[in-house]
Amino acid sequence: MATSPILDNLDVLALLRLPDSPGLDRNSIGWLPGEIVDIPKGTNVPVIEYARLLRADESIPAGLEAGFEQLGRLDREWVWCLESDGEIKGVLLACPCHGTAFVWRLSLDPSLGNVSVIRLLRRFLTDIRKRGCVGYLTIVDTSKSVQARLKGIMEKTGGKACGFYELLASPLPKETL
């Protein structure tokens, strides 16, 4: 009778080998238990979906409506994306904020489910923890499905609403003001 490595409780990560990539192994690319890794571009890896930072030669797909791509000055060290089937299908934009990270936008392709939100959020949390952040905060619009999911995740992990506010944005005024 044939058996399945997953059903037999073997190391599932061993199934995700890095063929054609001498010198790369799961320790050199930062594997964490239950975490998705940043696979170098051009590496032939049998991974369907994973979270990583936005690369220098990439832009956020317009369909994700992240908003900040219009500014033209994204700090790629604070832009996480979810790659699925070779395409960016999710994005989390954040910035440092006095020892915490502020999440400006979380947007995912509507075809993606809760696992994708968690995958992107896990990578974000792993990275900001390494950067020394002690927490994160955000503003959500619960009429948007993905932001409502983020709110639920944050509440389950101890997050609390801090009141109701209006978010205002303005370009810099002319120097003469």
Does the structure show a pLDDT above 90 at 65?
A: no
User: CATH 3.40.630.30 region(s) of the chain?
Assistant: 48-156
Does the structure show a pLDDT above 90 at 127?
A: yes
Does the structure show a pLDDT above 60 at 137?
A: yes
What does the pLDDT read at residue 7?
A: 30
pLDDT tens digits along 72-101: 678 999 999 999 888 899 999 999 999 999
Sheet of 79-84: strands edge to edge?
A: 49-53, 79-84, 87-97, 100-108, 136-138
pLDDT tens digits along 13-36: 333 333 333 333 444 444 434 444
- Ranked by mean pLDDT, which of 24-38, 65-79, 136-150, 158-172 comes out on top? 136-150
What does the pLDDT read at residue 12?
A: 31
Angle, helices 114-130 vs 145-156, to 10°: value is: 60
Mean pLDDT of 140-155: 89
H or E element in which residue 148 lies: helix 145-156
What does the pLDDT read at residue 41?
A: 60
Record: fold of 48-156: Aminopeptidase (3.40.630)
